[in-house]
Chains A and B, each alone.
Chain A
Amino acid sequence: MSRLKSNPGFISILASLASIVIGLLFGFILLLVLNAKNAPAGMANMLTNGIKDMGNVLYNAIPLIMVGLSVAFAFKVGCFNIGASGQYTMGAVFALFCALKWQLPWYVCLLAAILGGAVWGMFPGLFKSLFNVNEVITSIMMNWIGMNVSVLWVSNFSQMLAPNPDRTMALDAGNPSAILPKAGLDSLYSYLNIGIIIAVIVAVIMWVIIAKTTFGYELRACGLNKNGAIYAGINAKRNVVLSMVIAGALAGLGGGLYYLTGGGQFKLEKEILPMGFNGISVALLANSHPIGCIFSAIFISYLKLGGIAMQSQGYATEATDIVTAVIIYLAAFSLLLRLTIIKFFGKEKKEVAKQ
């Protein structure tokens, strides 16, 4: 136990769990304020709904894992990838274009999604390393460009559109071969497919890259001390571009995985998809650890579905959104809690020593 207590990984997990509990408490207080009578039932709905519908939770966690990985990976090199949304959008549109226009099978569509996201991630990376332009600004702009490009692009190809031309054609009608194989997972939830397996495998690969390879070592060195990395002969400029490309590819793959299902119709709305920003919460909650991203994505997906279930207790959609947002927001305080936990353990040790 005492060895566990000084293990930084254990402390990180404990901090994340503790902050989740605090977030849930806050969410409950908020429910009490909004409608005290239904609060216990509402909270119960929120917390239990996901268990009944685990397949749906996992299905919605797929894109969250990917955008979370995207943000977390960029963060390791000291980049804040706020452009995951645009990369995700481009991934989705590249994939759907291959599926509906060119009638290609799903695996090719996924490769196209990776390419689309990577290209969108590359620009902020290039601007940062060549002209020292802050990646936050460029990637926000790339979000808007991506959104407009996607709408313009899709609406120009009528064969991609559904009978109702505000969205793309459903894949079961347009090109069933582009739908991700279900591999029996649809027994859990009708849309669930091998996407979740792909997402988990990618997360593990990312962890191996960051923790075990020379490339990951370089990336972390750049992220922690760019000058030191340059001094050591590491090509910091190349690494910034490369990691933004990889981050973009991850988000793009997320877009592909989410939309290459029977039901995933891409809506032509002039709105930035919120998915990319959810990625920031996922990465924060996971303390930028790739494996942690799997769990934090499932947790957030669980909460979101729970929020929808709360509506049956008379809470408005906006209210449930606020509650889930508060929980996620507080959950991101895990960093702060880490220090408290370390202090707490330190004190305990001292007391033991005194005895």
Chain B
Amino acid sequence: MAESDLANAKLPDQEDYAIEMLNITKKFPGIIANDNITLQLKRGEIHALLGENGAGKSTLMSVLFGLYQPEEGIIKKDGKVVQVRNPNDATALHIGMVHQHFKLVECFTVLDNIILGVETTKMGVLQKAETRKKVMALSEKYGLRIDPDAKIEDISVGMQQRVEILKMLYRDNEILIFDEPTAVLTPQEIDELMEIMRNFKAEGKSILFISHKLSEIMAVSDRCTVLRKGKYIGTVNTCDTTVEELSSMMVGRSVQMKVEKEDAKPTDVVLEVEGVTVPSKIHKNNAVQNVSFKVRRGEIVCLAGIEGNGQTQFIHALTGLDSVSSGKITMCGQDITHASIRKRSELGMSHIPEDRHKHGLILDFSLEQNLVLQRFRDPEFQKAGFINFGAVRKYAEKLIDKFDIRSGQGPITTARAMSGGNQQKAIVAREIDKGPELLVAVQPTRGLDVGAIEYIHKQIVAERDRGVAVLLVSLELDEVMDLPDRILVMYEGEIVGEFDPKQVTVEELGLYMAGAKRMEVAE
């Protein structure tokens, strides 16, 4: 396919390409991240770049953005060969990027972040009034609502992303790269973002949209280039393809899009939460208010809701990262309200945390060290305080094999050097292999691709069938409808509804999540 596409480019009625990346090869120790990849972005199109985690999407974009130098291949802008040695070169070529993990200065205001690096000054003095006018005009024009004087650390993830987009617009960028932009957004924010992208396209800007969410690619993009394991698979017109075709191109086989599971057969109660209240750290009210529910062996209970309605605080209290102000948590008959994290872990609580970089991994530790993060004290891995490195290595190799964790150098790879999906797989492997009684999975598939999601869902269902009680927290509606056996909706720190996913509609659920309806939950 690569050849035919290249041939197309040479036809007399030559396409108007804004950016061409031809035959790019980029190697890292032990891995070829990009193997002869060609990507051509037409002017005024939304071009999706699709691939699993570790397929080489981010590497390719880093090459375009000047963060990496490719071993082979050339980059053309408007048909002319250009050198992109660093991000400054990219900026000079009017290439802008919204990274998956935002690059914002947390303690600066929104306005300061937008102008950072391209400040307008007069005799060395910042001309903020002027820049504010320009920023607000852009904000208005594209419907990017921001509060220019709020600090980044105080605003929502959605607004942070709008700040990143405004940063690109403020620099008059024509080529806009969005790296997994929807991974952190709520459904409403995703719709807004799509609309904004269409506006950009109408203005003649060219957009590269990196994603692995097929429905979004189908909805918004014109063409789609697919990568798999560092190789170029093909470029297709979105209107001529189907979700099934794209997913099989991406994964290399056909994928089960729906979770397959038997009906749950819940037995005895594993987790009982009674009247748990957690004070908020930001405002005077409680972040979690009088929450009570039970999770039984062999069922998946999902705590659904829009981000910021107390799920995070509740999970922190449940797993021991934070303390409760009142209420009682009982696990397997033991009161663990005030137990230490280690005690909870020993009692059989596994926790797949929401933030894999902050909590889930020690990024500068190797993969094998991360895989024994809670278990290095087990007699299996130590003797009289001395770590048994041989046993750790063997265990890591077993998990890597069993859970198909891919990395450059196997057990000794630094966790930081692994792709997001494989980092998540490592955490899931570690938490499941502990043989838990209760599995707390917070957004276990956040930012992952179809193949990995399917895999993790299967693992969670397998754990349920093994008799584990599963508490799932998810913001993804597909996941909320598909995976659990019971849904609890959380709104402003309270549980406002309980549903059977087989009987409730997405619309109905949405009303409860938005706080428009509530029911008395009988437990």
Nearest A-chain residue to B29, judged by Cβ? A6
Interface assignment of A98: CB less than 8 Å from any CB of chain B: no
Interface assignment of B113: CB less than 8 Å from any CB of chain A: no
Nearest A-chain residue to B377, judged by Cβ? A214
B331 CB to nearest A CB, Å = 15
CB pair A212–B364 under 8 Å, yes or no, is no
CB pair B385–A229 under 8 Å, yes or no, is no
Interface assignment of A263: CB less than 8 Å from any CB of chain B: no
CB pair A228–B345 under 8 Å, yes or no, is no
Q: Which residues of A contact B363 (CB under 8 A)?
A: 224-225, 228
Interface assignment of B239: CB less than 8 Å from any CB of chain A: no
CB pair B321–A224 under 8 Å, yes or no, is no
CB pair B342–A228 under 8 Å, yes or no, is no
CB pair A233–B387 under 8 Å, yes or no, is no
Nearest B-chain residue to A208, judged by Cβ? B386
**For A212, A214, A231, A234, which residue has the most chain B Cβ atoms within 10 angstroms?**
A231
CB pair B351–A214 under 8 Å, yes or no, is no
Given A217-B376, A221-B373; A231-B387 close (CB under 8 Å): no
Q: Which residues of A contact B29 (CB under 8 A)?
A: 6
Q: Which residues of A contact B369 (CB under 8 A)?
A: 217
Whole-angstrom CA separation of A225 from B414 in the bound complex: 14
CB pair B353–A231 under 8 Å, yes or no, is yes
Q: Which residues of B contact A225 (CB under 8 A)?
A: 358, 361-364
Contact pattern, B 332-371, Cβ under 8 Å of A = 1, otherwise 0? 0000000011111100000101000011111111000100
Whole-angstrom CA separation of A43 from B439 in the bound complex: 67
Interface assignment of B109: CB less than 8 Å from any CB of chain A: no
Q: Which residues of B contact A221 (CB under 8 A)?
A: 362, 365, 373
Given A221-B373, A224-B363, A224-B364; A214-B382 close (CB under 8 Å): yes
Contact pattern, B 291-333, Cβ under 8 Å of A = 1, otherwise 0? 0000000000000000000000000000101000000000000
Interface assignment of B374: CB less than 8 Å from any CB of chain A: yes
Contact pattern, A 221-241, Cβ under 8 Å of B = 1, otherwise 0? 100110111111111000000
CB pair B373–A232 under 8 Å, yes or no, is yes
CB pair A231–B377 under 8 Å, yes or no, is no
CB pair A227–B386 under 8 Å, yes or no, is no
CB pair B345–A233 under 8 Å, yes or no, is yes
Given A214-B377, A217-B376, A233-B345; A228-B361 close (CB under 8 Å): yes
B-contacting residues, A189-228, CB 8 Å: 212-215, 217, 220-221, 224-225, 227-228
A342 CB to nearest B CB, Å = 11
Q: Which residues of A contact B387 (CB under 8 A)?
A: 212-214, 217
Interface on chain A toward B: helix, strand, loop, or mixed SS? helix
**For A214, A220, A233, which residue has the most chain B Cβ atoms within 10 angstroms?**
A233
Nearest B-chain residue to A217, judged by Cβ? B376
Given A231-B341, A231-B351, A233-B345; A214-B362 close (CB under 8 Å): no
Q: Given A228, A233, A235, A350, which contacts B362 in the complex, CB threshold below 8 Å?
A: A228
Whole-angstrom CA separation of A215 from B362 in the bound complex: 16
Whole-angstrom CA separation of A350 from B70 in the bound complex: 12
Whole-angstrom CA separation of A228 from B364 in the bound complex: 11
Nearest A-chain residue to B383, judged by Cβ? A214
**For B71, B344, B363, B385, which residue has the most chain A Cβ atoms within 10 angstroms?**
B385
Q: Which residues of A contact B340 (CB under 8 A)?
A: 233, 235
CB pair B386–A232 under 8 Å, yes or no, is no
Q: Which residues of B contact A213 (CB under 8 A)?
A: 385-387
**For B340, B358, B362, B365, which residue has the most chain A Cβ atoms within 10 angstroms?**
B362
Whole-angstrom CA separation of A228 from B362 in the bound complex: 6
Whole-angstrom CA separation of A225 from B364 in the bound complex: 8
Q: Which residues of B contact A212 (CB under 8 A)?
A: 386-387
Whole-angstrom CA separation of A224 from B365 in the bound complex: 8
Whole-angstrom CA separation of A350 from B360 in the bound complex: 36
Nearest A-chain residue to B361, judged by Cβ? A228
Given A221-B365, A233-B345; A214-B385 close (CB under 8 Å): yes
Whole-angstrom CA separation of A217 from B361 in the bound complex: 14
CB pair A233–B385 under 8 Å, yes or no, is no
B27 CB to nearest A CB, Å = 9
Q: Which residues of B contact A235 (CB under 8 A)?
A: 340, 342
Whole-angstrom CA separation of A234 from B29 in the bound complex: 33
Q: Which residues of B contact A233 (CB under 8 A)?
A: 340-345, 374
A-contacting residues, B379-424, CB 8 Å: 382, 385-387
CB pair A228–B358 under 8 Å, yes or no, is yes
CB pair B341–A214 under 8 Å, yes or no, is no
CB pair A215–B341 under 8 Å, yes or no, is no
Whole-angstrom CA separation of A235 from B345 in the bound complex: 13
Given A214-B382, A217-B369, A217-B387; A229-B362 close (CB under 8 Å): yes
Nearest A-chain residue to B430, judged by Cβ? A232
Whole-angstrom CA separation of A230 from B344 in the bound complex: 13
Given A221-B362, A224-B363, A224-B365; A232-B377 close (CB under 8 Å): no
Q: Which residues of A contact B345 (CB under 8 A)?
A: 233
Q: Which residues of A contact B376 (CB under 8 A)?
A: 214, 217
CB pair A228–B360 under 8 Å, yes or no, is yes
CB pair A227–B358 under 8 Å, yes or no, is yes
B-contacting residues, A58-112, CB 8 Å: none
CB pair B321–A230 under 8 Å, yes or no, is yes
Q: Which residues of B contact A234 (CB under 8 A)?
A: 342
Given A225-B362, A229-B362, A233-B345; A215-B351 close (CB under 8 Å): no
**For A217, A224, A229, which residue has the most chain B Cβ atoms within 10 angstroms?**
A217
Whole-angstrom CA separation of A224 from B361 in the bound complex: 10
Q: Which residues of A contact B319 (CB under 8 A)?
A: 231
A10 CB to nearest B CB, Å = 16
Q: Which residues of A contact B353 (CB under 8 A)?
A: 231
Q: Which chain B residues have a beta carbon within 8 Å of chain A's beta carbons?
A: 29, 71, 319, 321, 340-345, 351, 353, 358-365, 369, 373-374, 376-377, 382, 385-387
Other than the given A225-B364, A231-B359, A233-B341, 11 more pairs (CB < 8 A) read A212-B386, A221-B362, A224-B363, A224-B364, A225-B358, A228-B362, A232-B373, A233-B342, A233-B374, A234-B342, A235-B342
Q: List 14 A-B contacts (CB under 8 A).
A: A212-B387, A217-B369, A224-B365, A225-B364, A227-B359, A228-B360, A228-B361, A228-B363, A229-B362, A230-B321, A231-B359, A232-B341, A233-B341, A233-B344
Q: Which 4 A-B pairs have the closest CB atoms?
A: A233-B342, A231-B359, A233-B341, A232-B373
